[in-house]
Amino acid sequence: MTSISARLAAVLACLVVVSAVSSCGTVKLPASAAAATWHLAPSQPAASGELRGVSFPDASHGWTAGGVSNDLFGTNDGGLGWREVPVRLPGAQQPFFGLGLVFTDDHNGWLAGDALAHTTDGGATWSSQAPANLSSDEGYYGLCFADADHGWVAGADSSHKRTLIDFTTDGGNSWQASAPLPPGGISAITFANDQRGWAVGDVAGFKPRILATSDGGRTWVTVYHGPGNLLDAVAFADQQHGWAVGEGMALRTTDGGVTWSAIKAFDHTLLITVAAVDPRHVWVAGQGGIWASGNGGVSWRQVWKGNRIYSLAFSDPAHGWAVGSTNLGGGPGNNMPGLVLTYGAN
């Protein structure tokens, strides 16, 4: 395991990729979804530890990644049963994955960590893609595809002196680096379409920042830089309504990220992930469970209590999944059993 792999394992409580509806986009919530609730999935993957990433391009096909053994699992029935999916790349030493996981359909997917892997056959075989020449102390934490062609990976080096954001417009066949950015790190990245996107993380010194782009990731501007800790996750329901979360802080915007307001309900909560299916219906999760809002983040209620949740995914507004660990304590649950929750009608 490379040095960035060791660092990634040490900070899993702070770094996660958000998997939203259609990889990065959103759709409207139907009235039939109003009665949906969270449940313990009837089948749990045989993971070697906590699960950190999840992606469902439709209500049947999904994947989750994590574990101390770099596990990947797939399902063809919405999570009723899981199968192990080996990830092997050329070379004797296998990269560390699990922080970035996106599938745009039941065949095409990407895994990110201290390398980037791509599959075109649902995970049966994998190949390496090369967005940039990574050194041994650099890695990708954020991964997003707005559609099958337009994708982004983001991260940093171990000291957060170099910010990494790369983009593709041809499904990963070729990648380009964004214009140089101030020192810091990126924890997560999301796009409302193939042009407008946002990235969260920290500047040097681990203070929170939010970046925005309107040209597909070629250039970025800082739209938020304030006190507190680094931000871990970001989600946008459309081009105007977005949310960002981190350790002891949550923010919301209604003007495309021009201004951000604090959500005081989470001043003392470790939040790791956020997902939205429309401007009103939003979920945040982290240490202690899952919270939901039906008014865009003005008020919240806890809908799942206990466990550490690392990632949320919705294939559509009526079908969702959450992954994490059974850990109920204050620290990372690397060696605790992995956990899968499902969201749907009783």
Higher pLDDT pick, 327 / 5: 327
From CA 289, how far away is CA 325, in angstroms rounded? Answer: 10
Given a cut of 90, whether residue 140 has pLDDT beyond it is no
CA dist 36 and 57 (Å) reads 19
Question: What whole-number distance in Å separates Cα of residue 161 and Cα of residue 146?
Answer: 28
Q: Which pLDDT belongs to residue 137?
A: 60
The confidence score (pLDDT) of residue 135 equals: 60
Q: Name the more confident of 67 and 204.
A: 67
Q: Given a cut of 50, is residue 18 above it in pLDDT?
A: no
- The end-to-end CA distance of the chain, in Å, is 43
**pLDDT for 329:** 53
pLDDT at 108 over 50: yes
Q: Which residues of 217-254 are buried (b: 16+ CB within 10 A; e: fewer)?
A: beebeebbeeebebbbbbbbbeeebbbbbbbebbbbbe
Binned at pLDDT 50, 70 and 90, residue 227 comes out as confident
Q: Is the pTM of this model over 0.85?
A: yes
31: closest CA among 281, 322, 315?
281
Rounded Cα–Cα distance for residues 111 and 117 (Å):
5
Assess whether pLDDT exceeds 90 at residue 345: no
Per the CB < 8 A criterion, the answer to whether 119 and 106 are in contact is: no
- Give the structural domain span for 193: 3-344
Residues above pLDDT 70, as percent of the chain? 81
- Residue 177's CATH number: 2.130.10.10
Give the pLDDT of residue 12: 34
pLDDT value at 293 more than 70: yes
CA distance 301 to 20: 20
The answer to whether residues 345 and 32 touch, using CB atoms and an 8 Å cutoff, is yes
What's the number of domains the chain is made of? 1
Burial of 24-45, coded b for 16+ CB within 10 Å and e otherwise, reads: bbbeebeeebeebebeebeebb
Residue 22 has pLDDT above 80, yes or no: no
DSSP letter at 6 equals H
